[in-house]
Amino acid sequence: MTNSQDIVTLQNELLQHVPYNNPLFQCYATNAFFPSNNNYYITEHWHDDLEFIYINNGQLEFSVNGNTFILNENEGVLVNSKRIHSNHTIDNKSCGFYCAIMHPDLVCSNKYIEQKFLKPLSSLNSFDYLILRKDDWTKDIIDELTNLFEKANPKTIELEILEASYRICRILFNNMEFVETPNIQTDHYITNFKSMILFIQDNYMNKISLDEISYAGNVGKTLCAKIFKKYTSKTPGDYLIYYRIQKSIELLTTTSLSTTEISFSTGFSSASHFTKTFRTLMGYTPLQYRNNPRNNFEKYCLIPEKK
């Protein structure tokens, strides 16, 4: 089963890709639940795919291109292509959600459809994110998403995802205005920020200085700190720590490495420092997380995973 923490995987040219449940079908879908004693955090990332999340229990804090908001139960969000986003649970709050991450190519049946509908929809001039609620027209998008998780036939799930994707596109174009214009990056700091994040994600296992992070983004240290504050509400150093913890979770859940080995593999100076930081951010020790993961959260994939 694909781990929710594993959806951030690097790719060339400052893009990131999603390890789809089935590599032959460009969709990652999972139903996750995290009780109040289990913290969950996905660091800032971006990908070509459209991302849908619907909260069916509790709350989730979400951020898109530096805008942070709380998603409550029965609310959701649609994040557009290539937008920087992150999400995490709220202390002492449970959270359950449906998540579907779909590549625009799923509905590109021909060049005409791509040019008329997909290009305007996913353009950088289009919306960054759309809040989904049950009291306006976005309820129809929620219904499409929940139907996939609650009513879809596993034998025909890929076909049902395709059908739902086309219907969601139709809903969006019936209710929003999309103009086919050239992609123009209105905030040039996004490129600097992505370069710095990419540097951190390529070098998190080593000792990294603020000078090196800012140099990677071709900015000074002061501007580097301001850019991270804008897009992550963290310092560069704090972002590095969160990313190291995220990578340590992958190693805890997919390998038999000791906590000492994991601590050094993810850039911590010692096992004790790693354990203390992990407990602070996740609520319990690395060994507690490894030894009892199923009692702390449940999740399953909508699409059967292919090897």
- Give 126-143 pLDDT, tens digit per residue: 999 999 999 999 999 999
Say yes or no to pLDDT of 174 above 60. yes
Q: Which long-range contacts link 4-7 to residues 24+ away (Cβ below 8 Å)? A: 4/30, 4/32, 4/40, 4/42, 4/99, 4/299, 5/40, 5/42, 5/246, 5/249, 5/250, 5/253, 6/250, 7/42, 7/45, 7/101
In this prediction, residues 217-246 reach a mean pLDDT of 92
Name the pLDDT band for 291 (thresholds 50, 70, 90).
confident
pLDDT for the residue 262: 95
What are residue 62's DSSP bridge partners?
69, 87
pLDDT for the residue 77: 98
Say yes or no to pLDDT of 9 above 70. no
pLDDT for the residue 186: 53
Say yes or no to pLDDT of 297 above 50. no
- Per-chain mean pLDDT for the chain: 86
What are residue 86's DSSP bridge partners?
63
Per cent of the chain over pLDDT 70 is: 86
Name the pLDDT band for 2 (thresholds 50, 70, 90).
very low
Name the pLDDT band for 17 (thresholds 50, 70, 90).
low
Return all residues near 163 (Cβ < 8 A) that are at least 6 apart: none
Query: How far apart, in whole angstroms, are the C-alpha atoms of residue 251 and residue 259?
Result: 9
Distance separating the N- and C-terminal Cα atoms of the chain? 10
In this prediction, residues 53-57 reach a mean pLDDT of 96
Q: Please report how many Cα atoms fall inside a 13 Å half-sphere around the Cα of residue 227, on the Cβ side.
A: 26
Name the pLDDT band for 37 (thresholds 50, 70, 90).
confident
Return all residues near 273 (Cβ < 8 A) that are at least 6 apart: 263
Query: How far apart, in whole angstroms, are the C-alpha atoms of residue 176 and residue 31?
Result: 28
